[in-house]
Amino acid sequence: MKRYPHPIIAKEGWHYLAVMVGSSMLVTWGVGWAFASPFWIASLFVLQFFRDPGRAVPNNPDAVLSPADGRIVAVEKVNDPYLDREAVKVSVFMNVFNVHSNRSPVDGEVKGIWYFPGKFVNADLDKASLENERNAVWIRTPDGIDVTSVQVAGLIARRILCYVKEGQQLARGQRYGFIRFGSRVDVYLPADTRIKVGIGDKVYATESILAELK
């Protein structure tokens, strides 16, 4: 397995973790463990939320990899609203206990990026796909196949982070973004894609295969 280029704690969480651990230490020093225990519990929550473990990339070059950890909440034929085409949408819902680092589902070039402000309804609901704050990344594979990966904010998520730019090359499993505190990722695929997951399945970013393009 190739060494993962990021520490086990996502860089997005360093500030939060430092603040929580620092506060916990101050309260412990000032008034003792009994009063400080809620602060330490909160620190442990922040630590687990921002964990960012390395992942092994499957060998199958035709595989569409899960862009996030979580549970499959939608597999359906829809119109891709970003590329205006018939598509299959596969949605991964992340709760607060999942890893929230987002990774590219395929190899390819970033052809477009669209950000939309919106609501913050429960990301487990299907209407969140088109009503919530979201950021869509259009990726075209070396074979000319278009894949749209959409980060969607959730009920308490208030910050979508996307680090790629138009024209950039992405590799399968490459880290490209992060969503803080609960959310979902929708993947729009060609209508004839062979889907490999079903509603309720648990998936893991990079390691789980959502579909095959050929």
* 201-213 pLDDT per residue, tens: 999 999 999 999 9
Q: Provide the pLDDT for residue 122.
A: 58
Q: Provide the pLDDT for residue 85.
A: 96
Q: Provide the pLDDT for residue 105.
A: 97
Q: Provide the pLDDT for residue 156.
A: 60
Question: Annotated catalytic residue: which of 43, 101, 149, 183?
Answer: 183
The values of phi and psi at residue 151, to 5°, are -80, 125
The per-residue pLDDT for range 151-164, each reduced to its tens digit, is: 998 766 557 889 99
Q: Provide the pLDDT for residue 56.
A: 86
Instruction: Please indicate whether residue 183 is annotated as part of the active site.
Output: yes
Q: Provide the pLDDT for residue 1.
A: 37
Tokens representing 184 are 């979902």
> Among candidates 104, 66, 95, which has minimal Cα distance to 195?
66
Q: Provide the pLDDT for residue 170.
A: 95
Tokens representing 105 are 């589902």
Q: Which residues face 187 on adjacent strands?
A: 90, 149
Which stretches of the chain are assigned E, i.e. beta strand? 63-65, 70-80, 85-94, 101-103, 108-116, 134-140, 146-153, 160-162, 169-170, 175-179, 183-190, 194-195, 202-203, 209-212
Flag residues of the chain having pLDDT under 50. 1-4
Q: What is the spatial distance between Cα 84 and Cα 82, in angstroms, rounded to a whole number?
A: 6
Tokens representing 101 are 């680092």
